[in-house]
Amino acid sequence: MHAFVKGTVVTTHDEVPQVLQAREAIELTEGECWQLLGSVSLGRVVFTHHAMPAIRPVNHVVDDQRIIVRSHLGAAITSRADAGSVVCYEADDLDPLRHTGWSVIATGLARLVQEPDAIARYEQLLEPWVAEEMDHVISIEPRFITGVRLVGWCR
């Protein structure tokens, strides 16, 4: 177990406390963003629901510079995708102890996948994490993708 006290990581495992230093934030290239996004399977989709921002954790696959997620008919994101709404998708791999890692944000249009062959393919590639019938496939086609890497370590 770890706790943070005035810039110092305090541990309960007889470890030497580490002094946290500010991290350098390095902008990622578009290619790095896609590579990192494809290296994880969990992210968050941000969309508008009843005129308010909404966010949902989802698992994904990356296919031909599109982010693919599965959902069900009653999900708020499904109705947004049916209309071709603008969404953001965020995924990251951050170390809360070391304050290092990366974060990628993709902004673009979410649409329901309609082609039966594509739906069948994505149903094979993407197993939902929740025990619900995920009968819709959503494709997010980013217009732009940005990211940042936090680098550095404790002294």
Q: Write out the H or E segment, with its range, that includes residue 107.
A: strand 100-112
Could you write out the DSSP letters of every residue in 78-100? HHHHHTT-EEEEEEEEEETTTTE
pLDDT digits (tens, 9 = 90+) for 94-124: 998 888 999 999 999 999 999 999 999 999 9
To the question of pTM greater than 0.95 for the whole model, the response is no
Predicted confidence band of residue 77 (pLDDT cuts 50, 70, 90): confident
Task: Let me know: does 9 contact 154? Beta carbons within 8 Å.
Answer: yes
**Rounded to a whole number, what is the largest CA-CA distance in the chain?**
57
Residue 69's nearest CA partner among 16, 154, 138, 13 is: 138
Task: Let me know: does 34 contact 64? Beta carbons within 8 Å.
Answer: no
Could you write out the DSSP letters of every residue in 30-86? HHHHHHHHHT-SEEEEEEEETTEEEEEEEE-EE-SS-EEEEE-TTSHHHHHHHTT-E
pLDDT digits (tens, 9 = 90+) for 5-53: 445 454 555 554 455 677 889 999 999 999 999 999 999 999 998 889 9
